[in-house]
Structure 1
Amino acid sequence: MAKTLRIDPIAEARRQWLAHGWDAAADGMTAVISVNRAQQLLMARIDAALRPLDLTFARYELLRMLAFTAEGRMPLSSAVARLQVHATSVTNTVDRLVRDDLLVRAPHPTDRRAALLLLTDAGRARAEEATTALNEVFSALGMDSDDEIELARIIARFRKRSGDFEEPSPVPDPI
């Protein structure tokens, strides 16, 4: 863990923005840098939890997504769409998981151009181990539950306004 700083560098950056007359952008800059720093702190915890299992968060996400499916399988194109990352990144993740015998890439049964991802028993077991480790992180973020829910709601509103998703029909219970 990094050394605790004596001042909040984000608050100092905001002070500098205001001192330079960039008042209209100061709150936005503060929000962006705060979210970025929070993401760094959270990913450090996630990486530490997954490292003993020889997983990155990207590999975990793919394993967990496949483990959530009824049969542990999904077309590669569906995985790319759901993970919201470039196809090359997903392909690299798949290659590593295949190499580690955690999933299998198979021909799609009805589309010769497509690949099907199949979770192995070892992949399912690793996904469960990793989920247990990550749930320890998720349940001890250092925020109370009301703050966690409010933060998720704020970010969901931002994502929706940014065109990240549309409201599904029917609408699920709010976060």
Structure 2
Amino acid sequence: MTDPDPIAAAYEQWVDHGWADAADGMALVTSITRAHQLLVERIEETLRPHGLTFARYEILRLLAFSRRRSMPMSRLGSLLQVHATSVTSAVSRLESQGLVERLRRESDRRVVLASLTAAGEALVERATADLNAQVFTSPGIDTDAVRTATELLSALRSAHGDTVSSADGRAARLEA
């Protein structure tokens, strides 16, 4: 016998305790949180052999996407929607791994750039190939459901103040 679904059990408890008006929302939030945990486990397992966490991978990928293979540290934080100290910490780790170096912008020496090294570029390409093969091409639901879920989550993000892509799904190009 398998264990019951804990989210369904929590839903029943919400209803039984008189919170039926909040039960669907609780189930949604709890389901998203659990799905996030499951996906992060798959992502981290895929990136571990590369010596990366998802946060550090995202920085490498953003730098590889940028035309100059470098970007101001403040821009990285903005694009990743994380605090500057998180970016600094991740870039320091990448720097110690020889994957990124910090440079000063020639036109304004106050601006610190994170710049992708050749080793970083090679590693992010290998890591991306593995993520595509092991996670992104098969996240656990079929293609139509992936698109529907993405649309629904985009609406949820928008309702909470996030900027989301246009209706056709095209994201802005990275300019550094």
Structure 2 length normalisation: TM-score?
0.91
Q: What residue number does 2:66 align with?
A: 69
The range that moved more, 136-145 or 63-72, is 136-145
CA RMSD of aligned residues (A): 1.6
Q: What residue number does 2:145 align with?
A: 147
Query: SS of the residue aligned with 2:98?
Result: coil
Structure 2 regions of 5+ residues with no counterpart?
171-176
Q: What residue number does 2:91 align with?
A: 94
Q: Which whole-Å CA distance do the structure 2 matches of 1:110 and 1:24 have between them?
A: 57
Query: SS of the residue aligned with 1:106?
Result: strand
Which of 148, 160, 164 aligns to 2:158? It is 160
Query: SS of the residue aligned with 2:140?
Result: coil
Residue 154 of structure 1: how far off its partner (Å): 0.3
- In the alignment, does 2:107 pair up with 1:113? no
Q: What residue number does 1:54 align with?
A: 51
Residue 172 of structure 1: how far off its partner (Å): 5.8
- In the alignment, does 2:168 pair up with 1:173? yes
Residue 139 of structure 1: how far off its partner (Å): 1.1
Query: SS of the residue aligned with 2:109?
Result: coil
Among all aligned residue pairs of Structure 1 and Structure 2, give the percentage whose two residues are the same amino acid: 47
Structure 1 regions of 5+ residues with no counterpart?
none
Instruction: Verify the 8 A CA contact 2:154 2:164 in the aligned structure 1.
Output: no
Instruction: Verify the 8 A CA contact 2:77 2:83 in the aligned structure 1.
Output: yes
Residue 71 of structure 1: how far off its partner (Å): 1.8
After the TM superposition, list the runs of 4 or more consecutive aligned residues in structure 1 that deviate by more than 2 angstroms.
Answer: 110-113
Count of residues in correspondence between the two structures = 169
Residue 112 of structure 1: how far off its partner (Å): 2.7
Q: Which whole-Å CA distance do the structure 2 matches of 1:30 and 1:38 have between them?
A: 12
Residue 5 of structure 1: how far off its partner (Å): 5.2
Query: SS of the residue aligned with 1:74?
Result: strand
1:173 counterpart letter in structure 2: D
1:90 counterpart letter in structure 2: V
Q: What residue number does 1:36 align with?
A: 33
Cα-to-partner distance string for 1:62-113 (whole Å, 9 max, x where unaligned): 0000000112011111111001011111100000000011010011222232
Query: SS of the residue aligned with 1:58?
Result: helix
Query: SS of the residue aligned with 1:105?
Result: strand
Instruction: Verify the 8 A CA contact 2:71 2:115 in the aligned structure 1.
Output: yes
